[in-house]
Copies of this chain bind each other. A is one copy, B any other.
Amino acid sequence: MRQQLRSLTLIQGSDINRKPGRPKGGKSEQTRERILDAAEQLFADRGYDGASIRDVAAAAGLQIHSISYHFGPKEQLFDAVVARRADIMTGLRGAALETARQQAGAAAIPIKQLVRDYASPFIQSASHGDVGWRNYAALMGRLANSPLGTEIIARHYDDMAREYITELQRALAGADPEDVVEGFSAMVAAMLGICAATGRPERLSGRNAQRPPEESFEALVRFHTAGFLALTIA
């Protein structure tokens, strides 16, 4: 939205299209990242309506208007927060899918691999990534069943989701395609639940600390792979 059409001549010194004045995107890219980090954390902690633009500005060490200057109205800021890491996530999933397709050749990709490849980037990022990824994971969990959330998720995640669903349906030829979509939705919900860090699993199992997400991930893969396979049995 605020991206500039860079001039075509690449050598900066001899740039003939170069207009006078301070160029865009110099130092401000850091500022934008700082705003997104702050917004990510606050939206994750308090939700979309619970976090104010003022909170974000204060957390980023800026004045209020700097937020809307860089991102426009609140909803666009929210979208930008989701989009930033969604693009990374989609890149990882796309690469994994390409590899899997090459490995499988003409055959269908194994269910277990599809489950693993879709859930792994998210769970790995949420558990091994920096605090930003943890905040992002919590935020995505909150978004899951809200109108605004699903709208934004649709924009940034549905295309790749459909690719995985297509492969799942191919691997589960005997199953009702709608059941496969149902299974995919269940898998995503479980993945988000693991990373949301709500503390409910601990409360239900009597544990005092959160289970390492890798263990949860392995359980998820086994559980949902078996679930998918059960859909083929009429």
Q: Which residues of A contact B (CB under 8 A)?
A: 45-50, 138, 141-142, 144-147, 150, 153-154, 158, 161-162, 165, 176-179, 181-186, 189-190, 192-194, 196, 198-201, 203-205, 207, 211, 215-216, 219-220, 222-231, 233
Contact = CB atoms under 8 A, between A and B. Distances in A.
Secondary structure of the A side of the interface? helix
12 contacts: A144-B196, A182-B194, A182-B220, A185-B194, A190-B190, A223-B227, A223-B228, A223-B231, A226-B226, A226-B227, A226-B230, A227-B230
A144 B146 contact: no
A217 B219 CA distance: 22
Contact of A223 (B150, B158, B177, B186): B186
A182 B200 contact: no
Contacts of A50: 48-49
Contacts of A145: 138, 141-142, 144, 192-193, 196, 198
B201 A153 contact: no
B192 A150 contact: no
Given A219-B231, A227-B227, A205 B178 contact: yes
A65 to B, nearest CB: 23
Q: A-B pairs with the 10 shortest C-beta distances?
A: A226-B230, A141-B145, A49-B49, A189-B189, A223-B227, A186-B190, A145-B196, A227-B227, A150-B198, A49-B50
A231 B193 CA distance: 18
B200 A185 contact: yes
A69 B73 CA distance: 36
A162 B204 contact: yes
A200 B230 contact: no
A201 B153 CA distance: 12
A146 B150 contact: no
